[in-house]
Amino acid sequence: MQQLEVINILKKDLNFDDISIQKLKKFAELVLSENKNHNLIAKSTESSIWHRHILDSAQLVKFIDFKSLSLADLGSGAGFPGIVIEIFNKNKDFHVKLYEKSSVKRQFLIKVINELNLNAKVCGDYREQVLDSDIIVCRAFKKLEQVIQVSREIAKKPHKLMILKGQNAQEEINKTFKTRKYSYKLVKSITNDKSKIILMQIDFK
């Protein structure tokens, strides 16, 4: 799936406007340029950045309530999905926090935020921060069991959890939920028939 095809989906199915599309183009350019010096994304996925990274991240906007106050992206890396979500966002009170332990990647994220004039904040390792967002998202971060542990032990309030996962999502859920059950919804990814999005509500009881 090439850039024009992805842009068509972003506009028609996910309601990205022309301004957001232009910012996504600039973002993609910045990622590819920086990737020559630092490994932000796998070299093998550079030619498919619009499909593998941008669209994969963008599909989360369908499940996000932008009337919420803040969203945390754990292990943000090159900014997927956090930067893509913030580019879509139109609510000036909605704040995105990008948690990334790599100083090289943090510097890149700061550069992107400044150049695209985004309402986002770059934070260090999530274990050393206050995690108080209404929504927590992650992509290629940790196994589900570890994500839930982080979500329950470090997050300071009830929140929605959205996790982009590969074809082993159901297997991870079955393994993780052996000792404790959580209410969840499994949604098929629009970028890969075998990949899934896990949607959960984490409450403290």
Place of tokens 């022309």: 18
Check residue 168 and give its pLDDT. 84
Check residue 148 and give its pLDDT. 84
Residue 41 lies in a domain: no
| Separation CA 36–CA 27 (nearest Å) | 15
Check residue 188 and give its pLDDT. 94
pLDDT under 50 in the chain at which residues?
none
Residue 77 lies in a domain: yes
Residue 9 lies in a domain: no
| Separation CA 87–CA 193 (nearest Å) | 26
Check residue 205 and give its pLDDT. 60
Containing H/E element for 159? strand 159-165
| Separation CA 166–CA 169 (nearest Å) | 6
168 — phi, psi (to 5°)?
A: -95, 20
* Domain count of the fold of the chain: 1
Q: In the structure encoding, which two tokens stand for residue 117, read together?
A: 């004039």
124 — phi, psi (to 5°)?
A: -80, -150
Place of tokens 């069991």: 145
pTM more than 0.75: yes
Residue 83 lies in a domain: yes
Q: 164: domain range? A: 60-202
Check residue 154 and give its pLDDT. 82
Residue 6 lies in a domain: no
Check residue 172 and give its pLDDT. 86
Distances (CA, A) of 73 to 36, 49, 178: 24, 19, 27
Question: What's the mean per-residue pLDDT of the chain?
Answer: 92
Check residue 5 and give its pLDDT. 97
What is the CATH number for 81? 3.40.50.150
Tell me if residue 91 falls in helix, strand or coil.
coil
Residue 138 lies in a domain: yes
Residue 22 lies in a domain: no
